[in-house]
Amino acid sequence: MTVESVVLTGAAGQVGSVVREPLRRRVGRLLSVDRVPLTAQGPGEEIRQVEVTGIDEAMAIVEGVDAVVHLAGVPDEAPLADLLTGNVLGTQHVLEAARRTGVKRVVLASSNRLTGCYPAARTVTAQKPPRPDGLYGVSKVAVEALGRLYADKFGLEVVCLRIGSLEAEPSEPRHLATWLSPRDCAGFVWAALSKPDVTFTAAYAVSANTRRYWELDDQLGYTPLDDAEAYAGRIPGVAEYFAGDPLQGGDFATPGYTLRHGLGEWHPRM
């Protein structure tokens, strides 16, 4: 697929900050959108400071582009009402705007936490049923369902990237399985934009980690380059962590994480 113009929502966020410059170098026009101020990084990038709260706002930014990379939303565990507004309804606004304006390809930010309650010893494919590790993961199940609906019913080309632990370097034991390096992140996003003959695809975006939890496949045509194992000697507690057979979500999968961040203060049972 030829991609000359792209809208990038959530451009100031963790993932957006990593992929902005690689995208700018590849396309003729990049429209970077966020609710906070941004500065163009070079020729070909336009900036729009706006909070997309409805379909009309979404249509105003996606009109006339080839593709959208939708990264805006709530990035972690939160009250369900916030997640439904920021992640689910926000995604529907973008998909509906793409449908109405004729944008063909939409790349959606899903998450590895959609399957975070699988045990670490089990290799998971994108075809396995969701087992979210919290309310944030639940919102990403809904995001993927919306993408599938718009692909099946309206003919949009939708790619959902189940993004791993995006860090400059892995810094904790879980990252040895879940790390996504910045250059692999950029590679997966470009593959999601440019792969021809896509209808609907959900794929894990994770580096080629020796201990990864998720199956790497070639459906997007990108082979990751980095392996967190190169950093294993710098990270304390690795042997103990993996010997305990944790859930893939790690701390995200504990009851306390959702109770603290999504449901209020944690009051454990007595």
pTM: 0.96
Does 267 have pLDDT greater than 90? no
Indicate the pLDDT class of residue 263, thresholds 50, 70 and 90: confident
pLDDT digits (tens, 9 = 90+) for 142-191: 999 999 999 999 999 999 999 999 999 999 999 999 999 999 999 999 99
Is residue 269 scored above 50 in pLDDT? Answer: no
pLDDT for 20 equals 98
Q: What gap in Å lies between CA 188 and CA 204, rounded to an integer?
A: 9
Say what the pLDDT of residue 215 is: 95
Residue 118 has pLDDT above 60, yes or no: yes
Report whether pLDDT(5) > 80: yes
Read off the pLDDT of each residue in 89-101 and give the average, rounded to a whole number: 98
pLDDT at 268 over 60: no
* pLDDT grade for 265, boundaries at 50, 70 and 90: low
DSSP state of 188: H
pLDDT tens readout for residues 210-229: 999 999 888 899 999 999 99
Nearest to 179 by CA among 141, 254, 235: 235
Q: Which two three-digit tokens encode residue 66?
A: 């080839």
- Which pLDDT score, from 0 to 100, does residue 170 have? 98
Catalytic residue (one of 118, 136, 204, 257): 136
The confidence score (pLDDT) of residue 217 equals 80
Mean of per-residue pLDDT scores for the chain: 95
pLDDT at 270 over 60: no
How many residues appear in the chain? 270
Give per-residue pLDDT as tens, 226-252: 999 999 999 999 999 999 889 999 999
Alpha-carbon distance 74 to 156, whole Å? 24
Whether the pLDDT of residue 3 is over 90: the answer is yes
Q: What span, in angstroms and rounded, lies between the C-alpha atoms of 157 and 150?
A: 8
Q: Identify the residue whose tokens are 């599938």.
A: 148
Catalytic annotation on 241? no
> Taking Cα atoms as reference points, which of 5, 22, 262, 8 lies closest to residue 136?
262
Cα separation, 165 vs 152, whole angstroms: 30
- Domains, the chain, ordered by start: 5-261 (3.40.50.720)
CA–CA distance, 8 with 3 (Å, rounded to integer): 13
The mean per-residue pLDDT over the stretch 78-88 comes to: 96
Listed in sequence order, the residues at least 6 apart from 123 whose beta carbon sits closer than 8 Å to its beta carbon are 213, 214, 215
37 band by pLDDT with thresholds 50, 70 and 90: very high
